[in-house]
């Protein structure tokens, strides 16, 4: 009965599907870590991290507008997504060239991956807005399968360089976006009237997920600057084995709770929804923490033959960071779903402050190695949780029977 009740939660089902994707992602990283030298694996991890940032930023919030307002897919919408994703792709590639030792092939793969992934994410958002979570996640998560294909290609063709998995990832994202939008546009016409929304609205909304992703990827983009590429390789394996379960739960919670909070008709429904999902999240976090504490050293020994040393201190730091990520997803989802422009602006401003805290704390923490960087970024997560809870509270304190509002405009 308890298992059936838990499984009735869309967040749990989505977290399970995200978890499958996380397992595929972890396997891909293990294969790459065994197949590539430390620094080449570090470069592949870095390109993947930068690509994720470009994918989230590329649509400039259009994907979130789709979820909030249920926009239908049409050629006009696609015509706005492609240019914004292309501009961001070029910008991310330029940043990669200036900040990191990425060669021409890796930079090209990075730009193409950002473009294809941005377009693909808006396709996934349409299925999400229709509560077709399985289809949405299949579109959104296929990049993990593509990364695994790139890792297998390295083994099959005995390639010991980062270029092959990065190129495979980029081409896979472009192909996925093309297939998804071809399916979505069936039955629509170029003569369809364009749906109205402002870039300002999108930029307000994109602030929350981009900060989420920047905090998630913070260790990956900072470690090459404050430590070494070999340290980045060690962190990537740690994140794959320890951080992935928490990341998948974080994504699952946010992916399903946003449209359901938007659809809530009363304040009581909001509170009941959050209470139920919070209990489920606590159970999952507790079970996941115990599992990764026990299994991570064994998996590192079995699959990596001692190539990377994942100490108890590193595992504990990753667990603390993972727990904070899940709590952040619950807290920020309320404001993203229900907040007005002013509250979204306040959350975005506070989120930028959280990034600054994370960068400063992680840079200082680098004196204590990888664990210090992780705890420094965790300080950013914690500060964001506090602000999100303050902004979310008004949406949960209204009197029963009072219709839910959207917060101050």
Q: What percentage of the chain carries pLDDT values higher than 70? A: 84
For residue 120, what pLDDT band results from cuts at 50, 70 and 90?
very high
- Looking at residue 407, what is its pLDDT? 45
Output the six-digit token pair for 212. 């989420």
pLDDT in tens, 159-177: 999 999 999 999 999 999 9
Longest dimension (CA), the chain: 65
Angle of the 312-338 helix axis to the 199-226 helix axis, nearest 10: 170
Is residue 391 very low, low, confident or very high in pLDDT (cuts 50, 70, 90)?
A: confident
At residue 188 the predicted structure's pLDDT band, cuts being 50, 70 and 90, is low
Confidence category of residue 404, pLDDT binned at 50, 70, 90: very low
pLDDT of residue 198: 63
**How many whole angstroms separate alpha carbon 202 and alpha carbon 197?**
8
66-116: pLDDT as tens digits: 877 777 788 888 888 999 999 999 999 999 999 999 999 999 999 999 999
∠ Cα 106 236 46 (to 5°):
20
Q: pLDDT, tens digit, for every residue of 250-299?
A: 877 776 676 677 777 777 777 787 788 788 888 888 988 999 999 888 88
Tell me what the pLDDT averaged over the chain comes to. 83
Helix H or strand E segment including 300? helix 267-304
Residue 317 clears pLDDT 80, i.e. is over it: yes
The mean pLDDT of 216-223, rounded to a whole number, is 91
Residue 3 makes CB contacts below 8 A (sequence gap 6+) with none
What lies within 8 Å, CB to CB, of 344 at 6+ separation is 204, 205, 207, 208, 335, 336
And the tokens for 138?
């299949």
Q: Which two tokens stand for residue 49?
A: 């991290």
């Amino acid at each position: 009965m308890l298992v059936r009740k838990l499984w009735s939660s869309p967040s749990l089902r989505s977290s399970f599907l995200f978890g499958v994707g996380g397992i595929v992602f972890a396997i891909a990283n293990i294969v790459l870590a065994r197949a590539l030298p430390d620094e080449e694996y570090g470069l592949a991890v870095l390109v993947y991290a930068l690509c994720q940032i470009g994918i989230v930023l590329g649509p400039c919030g259009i994907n979130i507008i789709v979820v909030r307002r249920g926009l239908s897919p049409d050629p006009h919408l696609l015509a706005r997504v492609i240019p914004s994703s292309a501009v961001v792709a070029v910008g991310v590639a330029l940043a990669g060239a200036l900040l990191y030792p990425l060669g021409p092939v890796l930079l090209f793969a990075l730009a193409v991956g950002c473009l294809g992934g941005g377009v693909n994410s808006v396709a996934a958002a349409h299925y999400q807005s229709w509560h077709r979570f399985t289809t949405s996640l299949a579109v959104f998560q296929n990049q993990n399968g593509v990364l695994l294909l790139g890792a297998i290609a390295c083994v099959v063709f005995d390639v010991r360089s980062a270029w092959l998995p990065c190129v495979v990832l980029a081409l896979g994202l472009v192909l996925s976006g093309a297939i998804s939008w071809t399916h979505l546009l069936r039955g629509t016409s170029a003569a369809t009237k364009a749906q109205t929304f402002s870039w300002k609205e999108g930029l307000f909304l994109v602030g929350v997920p981009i900060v989420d992703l920047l905090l998630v990827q913070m260790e990956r983009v900072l470690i090459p600057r404050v430590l070494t590429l070999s340290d980045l390789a060690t962190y990537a394996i740690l994140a794959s084995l320890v951080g992935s379960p928490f990341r998948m739960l974080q994504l699952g919670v946010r992916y399903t709770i946003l449209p359901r909070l938007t659809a809530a008709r009363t304040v009581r429904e909001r509170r009941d929804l959050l209470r139920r999902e919070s209990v489920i999240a606590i159970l999952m976090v507790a079970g996941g923490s115990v599992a990764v504490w026990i299994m991570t050293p064994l998996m590192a020994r079995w699959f990596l033959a001692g190539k990377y040393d994942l100490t108890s201190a590193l595992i504990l730091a990753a667990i603390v960071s993972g727990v904070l990520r899940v709590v952040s997803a619950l807290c920020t989802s309320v404001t993203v779903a229900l907040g007005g422009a002013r509250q979204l602006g306040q959350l975005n401003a506070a989120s930028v402050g959280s990034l600054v805290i994370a960068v400063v704390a992680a840079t200082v923490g680098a004196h204590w190695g990888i664990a210090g960087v992780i705890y420094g970024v965790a300080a950013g997560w914690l500060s964001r949780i506090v602000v999100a809870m303050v902004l979310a509270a008004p949406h949960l304190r209204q009197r029963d029977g009072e219709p839910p509002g959207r917060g101050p405009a």
